[in-house]
Each structure stands twice: as structure tokens, then as C-alpha cells.
Amino acid sequence: MINDFLDKYKKLFGNDMERLKKIENRNLEKFIDEFIDLFKPSKIFVLTDSEEDRRFLREMALKEREENLLLNKNHTYHFDNYYDQARDKENTRILTPNGEKLPFINTVKRDEGLREIKEIMRGQMKGRTMIIGFFSLGPLDSPLSLKAVQLTDSFYVAHSETILYRTAYNYFLENENVPFMKFVHSQGELDERMTSKNIPKRRIYFDLEDYTAYSVNTQYAGNTVGLKKPAFRLTIGKALREGWLSEHMFLMGVNGPKGRTTYLTGAFPSMCGKTSTCMIPGEKLVGDDLVFMRINDGKPLAINIENGVFGIIDGINEKDDPIIWNVIHSDEEVIFSNVLVSNGKPYWNGMGEQIPEGGENHSGVWWKGKKDKEGKEIPPSHKNARFTVPLSGFKNLDKGALDSKEGVEIGGIIYGGRDSDTWPPVCEAFNWNHGIINKGASIESETTAASLGKEGVRTFNAMSIMEFLSVDLGSYLKNYVEFGKKLKVHPKIFGVNYFLTDGKKFLNEKTDKAVWLKWIELRIHNEVGAIKTPIGFIPKYENLVKLFREVLNKEYSKDDYEAQFSIRVPKLIEKNERIYRIYKDIKTTPTEVFEELERERERLMDLKKNKGELVSPFYFNDLN
Ligand code: SPV
Ligand code: MN
């Protein structure tokens, strides 16, 4: 590096100067120079790949009280401000050259947005340390992976990042001018509990021209940990430009007959069963949130770009989630966020243990019955309370797949949402376009606590990326259609719904998804039959009876099957028309979308004419 530039900041760097001097990277110099000048930190810490540095970040997070120790000394807890508990949709914006509107996306004119956020950021690190971290999304030397540099003044954010991602200092050292995405974060002024104070000035802005994400006056990891959701906004754009897929998906291996493993990805909106699906005991976990998929020799190959899990803790209990339960009770490093802490132990809603009536939580000192400023009773832990752990702690981890440079070949893609009355529990699309359009691009989900706003409202959430979308939705879908054209081997596509009700109660147990996965695995290899309906293929009763016995040791009744798999024709038509109207309003929607939706509508209308409104799966059976 040019010594002049670094010499300017000699005092700030101390011994860490040597660490930067060894890296040859023009863009890195410019980047760091600009933001030291803007933030005016009092100190700089350069993160290498050493264990010692990682431990230093954790110690500093403890020293600065961004985290605190629990009884198990490998575990810490962190609180975000009471009003900073989730991703902030309102103040998240994509910078566009002239502030051009994009469907479903908050945008702001690039110059104005940059001016605004930099003004808020000015001088925010006075008296603080700026951490410079080097990371990789995906295995370091994988052709599918991308590199990133994070600037932050939060030891909690940097510490989380070292748990969730691979550090890449040596990579930058060994390779000249590595291209990288940029993440710029300041938690802003803190209150006495060390949480971000200036919530009205919270901003999360994305510059896709320069692959830079900015966030300020927030600590919640979904807004701040650059490589997580900030990176996702940038990589959706990059994938579109370059013709691959950057998706909000888990990656897992499902064990089939004779030792076979079939890899699946799955896209679900937050809190709709994504994590619990890839954590099903007996199957293989690769990742729970973010996937890059590219074509190699006509085959779809995918990697999990993360190295850890930032998971929802609400409702995690020993019986339903034994794998997660074990990890967060082991000596593995864990950060608990926004849980209740009492006598050095973490507690959360639905953990299946007696929860103390007092302690400390995201609202400060907490007692049972405590109300917030709005008069709402405060639960012991926030619904979006989370745990942060390395993947290495999971005994069901498929380490080979996680570290695979080439990625693993994907046999199937699953799309799901929270839907009380329309989709059956599992359904296979007829082909790629039918699947990505009538399943993926048609996801609707009843809203949850993972982002701020009202819960329980049915919301359109194509591919479960709507909260992260940074490009025009029509072009995004066109990229999917084109991706399909380039594939020689197509993964099968499935729609699932774990939340179907009879109007009052859920029709499935939480554990039933293990059966749907086995059925999906067999379908991918054409080893089980299916029934053809207007919306795709659904399982045959006798196959499910067998699978329920094998997988869950449970009897599966005809009544249950009929209640779960009857085709709810009017609801499906209504949904089809809702989705059609949405795409009709988007100028760039590819024609394939309308064709697939129209065909499905016709099939449903025919069925209604011939068989009525609620059609038993046994009716279709008769046709086979
Ligand atoms: C999600 O809500 O989809 C998450 C957590 O994975 S966050 O980092 O907030 O996006
Ligand atoms: Mn997610």
C-alpha cells in the first residue's frame, strides 16, 4: 500500500498499520481513506484471520458492554434497542441514479441518499475504534464466492461476523487488487445500556453501482452485519447482471435410499419454517439462509455463503428442535440476542421451561406484566430474539458440502410461505417455469415479527426475497427464466405449506415436514408416483401412509390426507388472480409469467366446472 496514505493515520493505527501495509489493493486504499476521514475514529483495528484477533473482538464487545457474559462462559448476550429489534423496512432504501421508482422497493436518488447518510455518519466514530474486517461469502477459493470488507464501530457486529462468515485477511494479502463489496456501519450514539439511541436517524442504504451498503444508528444484525442481509441486496443485483442466482434459501442434503444424498434449497419468508426444515434430525445441514447458485456443465451448483447461523430462538425447545437445542446448550460459542436473562441464564418464549418473572431483557429491567410506552405488555423475550452460532457446532452438518469449492448439485428447490387456506402441504411443479412462477414467484405469506410492522397480514413475497429486493422484479424473474433455459439438468420445483388450517386449527404437526422431504427426495429420482392436479403433482395416499410409518412411526389416516390435500379451487383461483394482477402492473414482467398463470387458471376453472369447489385427492386418483 502507498505509505503516504497510511502515514496520515499513523497514530490511529498503532501496530495495526503493518497489517494493512502488506495488502496491495488500490480500491481498498480509497475506501478506507474516505471513511476514516468521514467517521473520524480515534483508533483502528485491522482484523486478521487469527484466533487471537477473533477473541480480541469478543473481549472488546464484553469490555464495552455491547455483550455480557452468561453463566456458561462461552455464551454471551446482547441487547438491541427496544425499537431496533428487526430489519427496518421504512428506512431501508436502494439508491437509484435519479431516484427512479422500482416496484415494491423504497428508493432514493443516489446523490441525495449518499449525502444524507454520510452527513449522519460524519464524526460518529470520535472516541471509538473503527474495525476493518476482511471476509468471504463462501469458501475462500471457490469460484462461486465473493469477498467483502466491513468497516464498523461495533464489536458485537464484528464479533458476530467472525462467527457467521469466513475471514479473508490472508486472501487479500496473497492476492492483489481483490474486488470486494463494501460494508459501512456505525451504531451511532449509544444509551446507557449500550444500544443505539438515535433510532429516528436509523438509515440502511444500498448503492448497487459501487457495491456498497451503509447502515447507521442501528445494531440489529439484520441491518448491520454486512455480509448477511446488506450483502444480499448487493448480490441480488450482481447475480442479475451476471446471470446467476443469489437467493434467500437454505441448503440441505436429504438422505434417500441406499446411502444416497440429494441436495435441496428452500426459500421461505422469515419465520415460516426455513430453519426448522434444514435442521430436521437425520438429514444433513449445509446452510439455513443464503445461497449462490451457478450453472456448471448444464447443472445447477450451489454453495451456502455463510459459516454460521443467526437463528430465531422463539419457540425453540428440546423436543421439537433437538439439534438447535443442543448447540445452544453446548460449549460452542453463542451470542444470544434479545432474550430474557435471569441469574446468568438465557430464557425465551416457548422454550418449554419455567420462565422467571423478572430479569433483564430488550426493554431493560423486566418484570412480568411490564408495559411499554404504547401500553403493550412486554413478553419475556422478543419474538425476533436470536442466537448466533458457528455451523461447526451442529452435529448434523455436512462439512464436505459446506466447504465444497464447486458447490453441490441441486436436485430440488422448495418454495413455502405461511398460508392458512390455499396451498396443500406439498406439491410438485410440472416443470421449471411452472415452478418458479406458480410456486416461487407466487409466494404469499402471512406477516411475522422478523420485520417491523403488523403481523398476520397476507403479503406477496416472491421467492421470499421481497424485503431484500434491490432490482426490478420483472427483470429478476426474467433472469430465473433464462437460468432455466441454460440448464441441461433441471432441479424439480416444489411448493410447501406447513401452516394450512381447517379455519380453526393447523392440519399438520410440526414434524410432518420430515415426510414431505422424503417424498420430495423420491420424486426427484422418480421413485414414487404422484397424482396430477391443476396445480401440480401431489402425493398418493398409499405412499404417504408408508412414509409416515417409516419416518415418524405414525399412522396417517385417509381423513387427514383428504383434509390436507383436497384442492381448494376458489381459493386457488383467487390467489392466481391476485398474483396475476400484481404482475400485470409491472411493465417488465416476462411473458412466461402470464402464460403460466393463465394456463393454471384455466385448469382450475375446468376443475371447478367439472368437480366443484373442494376436490378430494381421491378424485384425481381415479384418473390414474
Ligand atoms: C431473516 O429475517 O430472514 C433473517 C434474519 O435471516 S435477518 O438477518 O434479520 O434478515
Ligand atoms: Mn433470512
Nearest CA, atom 9, ligand 1? 222
Express as a percent the part of the chain with pLDDT over 70: 98
Region 169-179 average pLDDT:
97
Which candidate in 225, 236, 272, 441 is catalytic? 272
229 Cα: distance to centroid of ligand 1 (angstroms)? 7
pLDDT in tens, 220-236: 999 999 999 999 999 99
Nearest CA, atom 1, ligand 1? 270
C-alpha to C-alpha distance for 97 and 94, rounded to whole angstroms: 10
Q: How many residues does the chain have?
A: 624
How confident is the model at residue 31, as a pLDDT? 97
Residue 397 has pLDDT above 50, yes or no: yes
- The verdict on whether 427 is a catalytic residue reads no
Degrees (nearest 5) of the Cα angle 434, 288, 456? 70
pLDDT in tens, 307-316: 999 999 999 9
Q: Is the CB of residue 339 less than 8 Å from the CB of residue 346?
A: yes
Residues 6+ apart with CB under 8 A from 335: 67, 75, 76, 77, 78, 156, 159, 160, 163, 387, 388, 389
289 Cα: distance to centroid of ligand 2 (angstroms)? 5
Region 422-429 average pLDDT:
98
Cell digits for 512? 410432518
Least confident of 217-221, 529-533, 619-623: 619-623
- Ligand 1 binding pocket (C-beta < 6 A) is 87, 221-222, 228-229, 270, 289, 310, 450
Residues 6+ apart with CB under 8 A from 241: none
Cα separations (Å) of 347 from 21, 75, 329, 357, 569?
46, 13, 12, 11, 44
Whether pTM > 0.75 for this model: the answer is: yes
248 Cα: distance to centroid of ligand 2 (angstroms)? 6
pLDDT in tens, 260-286: 999 999 999 988 889 989 999 999 999
C-alpha to C-alpha distance for 363 and 386, rounded to whole angstroms: 16
